[in-house]
Amino acid sequence: IPCKGHNNRIRLGYLSYSTFNLYYKLFKNLRDKYTNINWVFKPHPNLVHRIHELWQCKNIIHYDEYENYIKDWEDSPNGIYINSCEYINIFKFADCLITDSLSFITEWLPANKPCIYLFNPSTKKPRKLFNGLANKILDSYYTCSTEKEIIETFENVVIKSNDNKRICREIILNEELQNLGNAGASITKYLFNILTN
């Protein structure tokens, strides 16, 4: 959707994957409500640039408000803001991932912990944007398109520990990432067989 009153070549969210502008207040409220949980806010590296670029568009927060939002996370006793590119250690110690990032769909799977994946409700048939493997993995995650779904899923999966998709993730992990941790040996064996036969 073009920004009203602005250059029409600037478009909101490109394919409308991003959900930050829809749910940033919700996650602050959940963080403040569930003080026994440690929260990590790690935005996409491009988010700050997009906010700065599109702050005048409808439903996009002002850059100053975003700066205050980050400060609020930094000052929170049970929240942290991380701006580095490193995320493996976060994955290692996290109990759940809540994201709208495409790249994390497969990268989170080896953790075999629940993921709440957020679809932007403005995107019609969002699953058509993903390939077969991504959709297979998404079947083992908890997908949400509304604030109500996010709250209900979070409370059921994280607070009540009802992760009924764990076995599904284990099956996909074994089927699709069989060589996890042994990729070098598998590649060597594959090349050896090709070159010697």
Mean pLDDT across 102-131: 91
pLDDT digit string (tens) for 136-187? 999 999 999 999 999 999 999 999 999 999 999 999 998 887 666 667 777 7
pLDDT digit string (tens) for 69-106? 999 999 999 999 999 888 888 999 999 999 999 889 99
Mean pLDDT across 57-67: 77
Spell out a b/e string for 4-27, using b for 16 or more CB atoms within 10 Å of the CB, else e: eeeeeeeebbeebbbbbbbbbeeb
CA-wise closest residue to 111 among 129, 91, 125: 91
Mean pLDDT across 20-25: 92
Predicted TM-score (pTM) of the model is 0.82
Give the chain's mean pLDDT: 86
The Cα 138–Cα 130 span in angstroms is 9
Could you tell me how far CA 84 lies from the centroid of its own chain?
A: 16
Confidence at 6, pLDDT banded by 50, 70, 90:
very low
Q: Say what percent of the chain tops pLDDT 90.
A: 56
Cα separations in angstroms, 5 against 35, 56, 60, 122 = 42, 9, 14, 21
According to DSSP, residue 93 is labeled: H
Residue 85's pLDDT is 82
Query: What is residue 186's three-state secondary structure?
Result: helix
**How many residues does this entry show for the chain?**
197
